[in-house]
A and B are shown apart, each in its own frame.
Chain A
Amino acid sequence: MKKFIVLLMLCCTPSALWAEEAKLETVQVETSVAAIERGAETLMINCHSCHSLKYIKYRDLANFGMDKKKIEDWRGDQPLDAPLSSQMSEDAAVQSFGVVPPDLSLMTKAREGGASYVYSYLLGYYSTPDGVTGNHIYPATKMPDILGSSGVTEPAAREELQKKAHDIVSFLAWAADPHEQERHRLGYYVIGYLFILTLLLYFVKNQVWSKLK
């Protein structure tokens, strides 16, 4: 963790005057269907216009258990098998921002700090008195302050914003690794089985070696 902070600080050196030391707010992602669905909804409203999630198909959302009606709304006349592509074309994006907004399917796995990084990034916007907006976490970003975190300082509103960001990040964490829950579940069974088997093998080993004079 310390190593990463040092790295991060090195990355932050060529940044604007108002950039502070980049500190990550650690966040624990939620894994319930409800939380992830909320995140999907928030993402479709705020992020989907520019960002694609090309490795997630609408049927993946359906198979996970999200509300069928909501999925119908989101996909329009695209088939269930279609991926979540962004609504803005690549050319239009380059014209507006200078860079194509990165695909989000693997974003929580593609950054040091994972979900906490993305969370801190979303909430890490600030604005200077002259009206320049920047981001503490990733100063070189071309992404505008979509959630409006730079303007929100009042505690109640800030908390609501944090909840929004938390939902988005929970969804993105699921999108990066849809089989995580299955993997953990299977892991408990496999390791439990291995403990039993290893214990049995230990007893047999002692029994066999006891025959040695």
Chain B
Amino acid sequence: MSNKIIQWIDHRFPFTSFVKHELTGYPTPRNLSYWWNFGFLAGFVLVLQVATGIFLAMHYKADVALSFDSIQHIMRDVNYGWLLRFMHSTGASAFFLVIYIHMARTLYYGSYRAPRELMWWTGQGLLLLLMATAFMGYLLPWGQMSFWGATVITNLFRATPFIGEQVVIWLRGDYTVGDATLTRFFALHYLFPFLIIGAVLVHLVALHTVKSSNPSGIDLAAKDNIPFHPYFTIKDFYGLGIFLIVYCIFVFFLPNSLIEPANNIPANPMLTPNHIVPEWYFLPFYAILRSVPNMVGGVVAMGLSVMMFAFMPFLDRSRIPGGAHYRPIFRLQFYLFLLDMLVLGYIGYIPPTSQSILIGQVATLCYFGSFFLVPFVSKAEERWLIKRGLPPDVQALIAGESREKSQSPLRRRSGDKK
């Protein structure tokens, strides 16, 4: 019976062929490691946030006189309201954790390189949309940290040349962060996730055009691909199980660890808390902002620090395929970069002292330095590695690639059978 229905649909819509081509039969490299689970996890957390968000929105009131109380209403009176709220607040942190690991995987394995530049750039766009969504969402509880965090960050737009002051007022809808700001941030916070869903679909179309990279960085022959179902469907579900355990430990036992105590105090425009600090996922960029003594310089540095990732396909000039697998110096650079991010995160968290500011400035220089060094180090490393001797398959690939480039620059590489 169900076969008849599916046949009826197939006459009118490419249902079965789509499912076979893009889902069940979709060719995937057999050697993908667990680091490739995180894209799926990001999609799952997106669904989780949208679902909890919509049900929270059934009870939340976006009005300065009512919002803090409505959150308490959700926490205390709404059936399982406390669960929805904690799932949503923990989910935001989970989203960034998964995305940062996903980005780290891409950097480490060189998955941003040709022909996957558009994947990297759509991903960059997704990161910006996510950061904007999280920032606006954080104002909604209307706690002390919500209010003052929004005040500080909207103030930054003053750095816009000539019209800075007007931009800030336009953004807020008022001279200070107030009711107008709260209402519009709620409207936009509800909207942006759907823009994210659209951008994810674009991201996936790009993926299905160039197919996944793999840990070796060398595209495999067609015979070394396996169908996505059942191998990677089950692997994704298993990874999801592990993720959910960690997620639920936070939701059920440690939810308050991710909520700043000051945000349990209703916003007071007359009193700034001693210690304004953004959520953990913004800390490194916050540290970079504070490292530059000039206000405009700080804003530019912070903006650039997020956008720098986009340049990686151009900065990385090595012809050694993939990422860190065959490139020990690139690997070292990667780990040092991670360490630098952690240092920046810590500096962003603690209250600024002259010592911490200095460390932050050094870390900021290292941050940008890592990117600026890539073009030179990648080429030098390539020369060194070729001299030292590369594994034969890598050599063959480099030779093949330079041959291909001279013959037909637009032809896709092996293993990319459609």
Q: Which residues of A contact B (CB under 8 A)?
A: 3, 7, 10-11, 55, 60, 105-106, 109-112, 114, 176-179, 183-184, 186-187, 190-191, 194-195, 197-198, 201-202, 204-205, 208-209, 212
User: Which B residues are CB-close (under 8 A) to A178?
Assistant: 76
A109-B75 CB under 8 A given contacts A194-B244, A205-B238: no
Which residue of A has the minimal Cβ distance to B226? A212
Docked complex Cα distance between A109 and B226 (Å): 51
What is the interface size of chain B, counting residues whose CB is below 8 A from a CB of the partner? 35
Docked complex Cα distance between A3 and B350 (Å): 8
Output the least CB separation between B160 and chain A (Å). 34
- Which one, B72, B251, B255, B274, contacts A55 given CB within 8 A? B72
Check A205–B235 contact: CB distance below 8 A: yes
User: Which B residues are CB-close (under 8 A) to A176?
Assistant: 264
User: Which A residues are CB-close (under 8 A) to B1?
Assistant: none
Output the least CB separation between B296 and chain A (Å). 30
- Which one, A10, A55, A111, A194, contacts B245 given CB within 8 A? A194
What are 7 A-B pairs at a CB distance below 8 A? A7-B351, A55-B69, A110-B265, A191-B249, A195-B245, A198-B242, A205-B237
- Which one, B30, B76, B230, B252, contacts A187 given CB within 8 A? B252
Output the least CB separation between B171 and chain A (Å). 29
Docked complex Cα distance between A111 and B253 (Å): 19
User: Which B residues are CB-close (under 8 A) to A183?
Assistant: 82-83, 86, 252, 255
Interface members, chain B 324-340 (any A CB < 8 Å): none
Check A110–B261 contact: CB distance below 8 A: yes
Output the least CB separation between B375 and chain A (Å). 39
User: Which B residues are CB-close (under 8 A) to A194?
Assistant: 241, 244-245, 248
Which residue of A has the minimal Cβ distance to B350? A3
- Which one, A60, A191, A195, A208, contacts B230 given CB within 8 A? A208
Check B237–A190 contact: CB distance below 8 A: no
Check A111–B261 contact: CB distance below 8 A: yes
Check B231–A212 contact: CB distance below 8 A: yes
Q: Which residues of B contact A (CB under 8 A)?
A: 30, 69, 72, 75-76, 82-83, 86, 226, 230-231, 234-235, 237-238, 241-242, 244-245, 248-249, 251-253, 255-256, 259, 261-262, 264-265, 274-275, 350-351
Check A112–B261 contact: CB distance below 8 A: yes
- Which one, A109, A186, A212, contacts B264 given CB within 8 A? A109
Docked complex Cα distance between A106 and B76 (Å): 12
User: Which B residues are CB-close (under 8 A) to A209?
Assistant: 231, 234-235
Docked complex Cα distance between A208 and B229 (Å): 10
Output the least CB separation between A48 and chain B (Å). 19
Check B72–A105 contact: CB distance below 8 A: yes
A106-B30 CB under 8 A given contacts A10-B351, A187-B252: no
User: Which B residues are CB-close (under 8 A) to A3?
Assistant: 350
Docked complex Cα distance between A211 and B411 (Å): 34
Docked complex Cα distance between A110 and B141 (Å): 14
- Top 10 nearest A-B pairs (CB, nearest first) are A187-B252, A198-B241, A110-B264, A201-B238, A109-B264, A106-B264, A179-B82, A205-B238, A205-B234, A55-B72
User: Which B residues are CB-close (under 8 A) to A109?
Assistant: 256, 259, 261, 264
Docked complex Cα distance between A194 and B272 (Å): 42
Check A198–B30 contact: CB distance below 8 A: no
Q: Which of B75, B253, B255, B261 has the most CB of A within 10 A?
A: B261
User: Which A residues are CB-close (under 8 A) to B82?
Assistant: 179, 183
Docked complex Cα distance between A114 and B260 (Å): 11
Q: Which of A11, A202, A205 has the most CB of B within 10 A?
A: A205
Check B252–A184 contact: CB distance below 8 A: yes
